[in-house]
Chain A
């Protein structure tokens, strides 16, 4: 792929087809407006060097997540809390439109939104990541690599990151004579919930779920909404320079919960069969 400009251009007849299909409430790949593409979740894809890992494909978008749990000195203002970091990397292998180098605003947004989706939901109870107050805590790293980009990386990164966390285990420690001692046992991470991300896009006046790359390019606005299994809304991000009406937002919030449940079941199934 030869000559390209900096960003994706959806050609005029594809654009036409997408619009006329939307008018009939379908999409180019024959999906309904609120249908996800095929979601594939595979666990333990990086079992040799990670505490937990997963590969997620949504249609042709593909991401690999790896969780590493290390120990560290706690931050001075939170001596009894562990540390959690989530980092997503849009790799140049994934698309002709991505250049190597320091992360651009899209990559940074993807990274920070994925981080908040896990952090704000309290998925990992960082208070239970303390080994010895003021001295040693667990540091959980979730790193996600984007391998092929075809839209909706927000959800793919979320599913991979959360699945990898559910698959992860870590060392166990005990305090003996005021000293930290590592035990032979392993334990799962202190996981309190499973937040599930759903991403919507607006093209014209139609709302679709799980946009692919062309649909994402044509969309005027995008919304990622994360819910947990208690029906709580825990994280959201609107992107692209357009907007949603109040009614649209309400409609999306209802669908997000429903779809979230379906996908949560998929993730749990993958974790159960992988363990």
Chain B
């Protein structure tokens, strides 16, 4: 356990998540969609597919190809961001795609494309994790065959203390940020990044903490799908 017990800038406990809500089926034209509010983050994810591949030469004969785009609206950040897509967005698009892909049963959809679009409407730290939570909910909402949902959460180190879910303000002065994503039922980690400075103990602690964050978020993803499809929040009801 960390030696310090400094109060966080946000007033949260070291293992406390920001307020999160997830809603499935928010964009009528999309095959599947979800809106996530994660602290001050507001993110929409939409899934289109399976569908024809454009351009045709990218088609794969025995499975689907996955396309993923993470894009931030100019009004989403403290300083207005120019509309052109940045290198940061391109990299995040890639890691998100690689986090979601292992959960998708691509062989069920040969010669097609599954397109995932993520729009950051308001950004406040931890957006890639929030985006993954929304995107995997949207994939389930679209009826894409999946081995599991994908849940993501970050842990970090702020003021020498290992904490759960670093927000934007904390990130600016923090010493480490570790976003992870996993398949909740198998525990397979499909996103893993690290920025910062962690000792072995801190590394292990952060990983554990991030995992507990994922447990909480998985429940919210299930609630979102239950609410839309099962008219209740349990997710499992005997008829």
**Residues in chain A within 8 A of chain B (CB atoms):** 1-4, 46, 48-50, 53, 60, 64-68, 70, 87, 89, 91-96, 99-100, 141, 143, 145, 147-150
Cβ of A199 to closest chain B Cβ, rounded Å? 19
At the interface, yes or no: B210 with Cβ under 8 Å from chain A?
no
- Which of A50, A70, A145, A148 meets B29, CB within 8 Å? A148
Contacts of A48 in B (CB 8 A): 40, 122, 124
A100 and B69 within 8 A (CB): yes
At the interface, yes or no: B117 with Cβ under 8 Å from chain A?
yes
Centre residue among B42, B44, B80, B124 by max chain A CB count within 10 A:
B80
B121 and A2 within 8 A (CB): no
**Residues in chain B within 8 A of chain A (CB atoms):** 27-31, 33, 40, 42, 44-46, 48-52, 54, 69, 71, 73-80, 83, 115, 117, 119, 121-124
Complex alpha-carbon distance, A100 and B74, angstroms? 16
Interface SS majority for chain B: mixed
Contacts of B75 in A (CB 8 A): 46, 49-50, 53, 65-68, 141, 143
A93 and B51 within 8 A (CB): no
Contacts of B44 in A (CB 8 A): 93, 147
Would you mind naming 7 contact pairs between A and B with Cβ atoms under 8 Å apart? A1-B51, A2-B51, A67-B75, A92-B69, A96-B48, A143-B75, A148-B29
B33 and A49 within 8 A (CB): no
B80 and A68 within 8 A (CB): yes
Contacts of B52 in A (CB 8 A): 3-4
B74 and A93 within 8 A (CB): no
Complex alpha-carbon distance, A67 and B33, angstroms? 26
Chain A residue nearest in CB terms to B67: A100
B123 and A49 within 8 A (CB): yes
Contacts of A66 in B (CB 8 A): 73-76, 121
B73 and A93 within 8 A (CB): no
Contacts known (A3-B52, A49-B76); A91 close to B40, Cβ less than 8 A: no
